[in-house]
Copies of this chain bind each other. A is one copy, B any other.
Amino acid sequence: MSPLSIASAAEVEHLLHDDLQAVEQEFARQSQSQVEVITEIGDYLLAGGGKRIRPLLLLLSAKSLGFDGESRIRMGAVVEMLHTATLVHDDIIDNATTRRGRPSTNAKWGNSKCVLAGDWLYMQSFQTALRERNFHVLDLLITLTQQMVEGELLQTEKLGHLINEEEYFDLIYRKTACLFKVSMQLGAALAGSEDVIEQRLGEYGRNLGIAFQIVDDVLDLTATTAKLGKPAASDLREGKATLAVIHALERGTGAERECIRTVLNDRGFDRVTHATILDILKRHGSIAYAMDAARAYAEAARQSIAEMPRSAAQRALLWVPGFVVNREN
């Protein structure tokens, strides 16, 4: 097999620049409502930025199959809006105060309005998706949303508890990989591709999403508050055990395990410091273990589409996994 030809960041930027800008405008248009506070919250969320990786995947998936109808822009906005709706509700649930370096919406508008703003964003994305007049598109979106909501509920139930790797992978599938997968599948659905192609692109999205979330969880442990735009080690503060932590829990001494348990139970670093936890993770190579896992999933993503016809979009899809595992925030 010849080595994979991978696009550069500049090529990807060039390839998607106009489309991503169009998605941005579509999102802005979609989040206008006669109810002022909805428009306000929508504008605030849009201005907060984000990597827009979900629309990027949808666009590349569609492009890799030669589809460039207007639907790709609308559906790009839909997947980002759906993602935004989950963030609005998650921030209420996690009692978050900051997101992307600014006050979270719940901190700014209060829980009541944000429950409803989240509901509205869900409905607006379905409303927009409905315009495609494509039942398969709706099946994908509704099933996805239900899986994400169930995942968040499962996570709520597991806060403060030790979980094993299997439970961790199920949670991050629901939390992130599921929407990455569906973003890829939607691109294929718009292009009217065969099931087997849609499946392969979905497989790429699933693998990439798992890599993405493992890295997110590692960064949460190791990066600074400034880089993250939210408090460092938020997961531990919320009682969430992620891959590196689960690894250390399985390999650590009794005393080390006790340290980790204390933080998860306390939901804070009052009795055991963040530095102590990082020492334990490094001592057992747990951060490296998690990053290796992320790289393996990133590689699996590449392999899922290695056999697809060469195109600028396919080469860009081969670039994304490297970007995902090497990013710093």
Whether A146 contacts B130 in the complex (CB less than 8 A), given A37-B153, A157-B37, comes out as no
| B-contacting 9-mer, from A113-121, A261-269, A291-299 | A113-121
Whether A122 contacts B122 in the complex (CB less than 8 A), given A127-B142, A138-B130, comes out as yes
Contact partners of A33 in chain B: CB under 8 A: 150
- Interface band, chain A: 35 or more
Contact partners of A194 in chain B: CB under 8 A: none
Whether A120 contacts B153 in the complex (CB less than 8 A), given A115-B92, A143-B127, comes out as yes
A156 contacts B by Cβ under 8 Å: yes
Q: Is the interface of A mostly helix, strand, loop or mixed?
A: helix
Instruction: Determine whether the beta carbon of A150 is less than 8 Å from that of B120.
Output: yes
A2 contacts B by Cβ under 8 Å: no
Contact partners of A124 in chain B: CB under 8 A: 146
Contact partners of A146 in chain B: CB under 8 A: 120, 123-124, 127
A38 contacts B by Cβ under 8 Å: yes
Bound-state Cα–Cα, A149 to B116, Å: 6
A133 contacts B by Cβ under 8 Å: yes
Instruction: Determine whether the beta carbon of B115 is less than 8 Å from that of A150.
Output: no
Interface 1/0 per residue, A17-38 and B, CB below 8 Å = 0000000000000000111011
Interface 1/0 per residue, A151-165 and B, CB below 8 Å = 011101100000000
Contact partners of A127 in chain B: CB under 8 A: 142-143, 146
Residue of B nearest to A151 (CB): B35
A126 contacts B by Cβ under 8 Å: yes
A142 in complex: contacting residue of B34, B89, B126, B143, CB < 8 Å? B126
Contact partners of A115 in chain B: CB under 8 A: 89, 92-93, 115, 118
Residue of B nearest to A123 (CB): B146
Instruction: Determine whether the beta carbon of B130 is less than 8 Å from that of A38.
Output: no
Contact partners of A123 in chain B: CB under 8 A: 142, 145-146, 149
Bound-state Cα–Cα, A149 to B123, Å: 9
Instruction: Determine whether the beta carbon of B150 is less than 8 Å from that of A35.
Output: yes
For window 239-284 of A, CB contacts with B under 8 Å fall at none
Whether A93 contacts B112 in the complex (CB less than 8 A), given A38-B153, A133-B135, A138-B130, comes out as yes
Least distance between A8 CB and chain B CB atoms (Å): 40
Interface 1/0 per residue, A99-141 and B, CB below 8 Å = 0000000000001110111111011101100100101001100
Enumerate 29 A-B pairs (CB-CB under 8 Å) in ascending A order.
A33-B150, A34-B150, A35-B154, A37-B153, A37-B157, A89-B119, A92-B111, A92-B112, A92-B115, A93-B112, A93-B115, A112-B156, A113-B156, A115-B118, A116-B153, A116-B156, A118-B119, A119-B122, A119-B149, A120-B146, A120-B150, A123-B145, A123-B146, A123-B149, A124-B146, A126-B126, A127-B142, A130-B135, A130-B142
